[in-house]
């Protein structure tokens, strides 16, 4: 609640949405090493799609975002993790079938039995324009998630501060 209230009160919500959306899309930059190797999908859904990667990204943002490191580190980590959530509910019919959430502890891949998004074509199956559209959609979805979560946290923070203010004024009046 404190983070949501802080972001909303200081006008940081648009920036938080942008950072969360961009960091959320960053997990798919794992195609770059494959592109250099001549096989863009070679490293897709690999280590970059793990909880450890989300923690590392959040930690890096924490180190770079002084003096408000905790807020921005959390936004970065949650933004990155939101990508993992989206990939869990996206149809995947190519090996390794899902994402390795628990890497390096386990090489097991996870995929939700409930799919909310259709299969995303990889390699040469999709045009560059189609991939850009998918990335833009992901940025918008991650940004919308941040808007909703910050707003909800801000409401809880406002309600909490109103209760504290009421309690303090009642205590002062009775004392």
pLDDT in tens, 49-93: 899 999 999 899 888 887 777 888 888 888 888 889 888 888 887
Tell me if 44 sits within 8 A of 28, measured CB to CB: yes
**Whole-structure pTM value:** 0.66
Select the more confidently predicted residue: 163 or 22: 22
pLDDT level of residue 168 (50, 70, 90 thresholds):
very low
Separation of alpha carbons 35 and 144, rounded Å: 30
pLDDT at position 158, please? 56
pLDDT of residue 56: 93
Residue 70 has, within 13 A of its CA and on its CB side, a CA count of: 4
Mind listing the pLDDT tens digit for each residue in 6-63?
A: 555 566 777 777 787 788 888 888 878 877 888 777 787 788 889 999 999 989 988 8
Which pLDDT score is estimated for 103? 92
Compare 166 and 75 and report the one with higher pLDDT: 75
* CA dist., res. 143 & res. 86, Å (int): 13
For 82-138, how does the pLDDT look when each residue is reduced to its tens digit (9 = 90+)?
A: 889 888 888 887 777 889 999 999 999 999 998 877 777 665 555 566 667 767 777
Which token pair is 123?
Answer: 């390699």
CA distances from 9 to 50, 54, 144, 148, 165 (A): 33, 27, 18, 15, 17
Higher pLDDT, 147 or 55: 55
Q: Check residue 129 and give its pLDDT.
A: 67
């Amino acid at each position: 609640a404190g983070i949501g209230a802080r972001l909303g009160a200081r006008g940081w919500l648009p920036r938080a949405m942008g950072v969360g959306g961009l960091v959320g899309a960053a997990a798919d930059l794992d195609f770059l090493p494959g592109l250099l190797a001549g096989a863009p999908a070679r490293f897709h859904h690999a280590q970059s799609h793990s909880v450890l990667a989300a923690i590392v990204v959040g930690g890096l943002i924490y180190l770079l975002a002084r003096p408000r490191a905790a807020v921005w580190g959390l936004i970065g980590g949650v933004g990155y993790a939101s990508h993992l959530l989206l990939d869990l509910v996206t149809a995947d019919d190519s090996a390794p079938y899902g994402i390795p959430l628990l890497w390096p502890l386990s090489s097991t891949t996870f995929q939700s039995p409930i799919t909310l998004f259709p299969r995303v074509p990889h390699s040469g199956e999709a045009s560059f324009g189609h991939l850009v559209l998918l990335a833009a959609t992901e940025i918008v979805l991650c940004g919308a998630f941040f808007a909703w979560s910050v707003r909800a946290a801000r409401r809880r923070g406002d309600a909490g501060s109103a209760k504290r203010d009421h309690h303090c004024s009642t205590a002062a009046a009775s004392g």
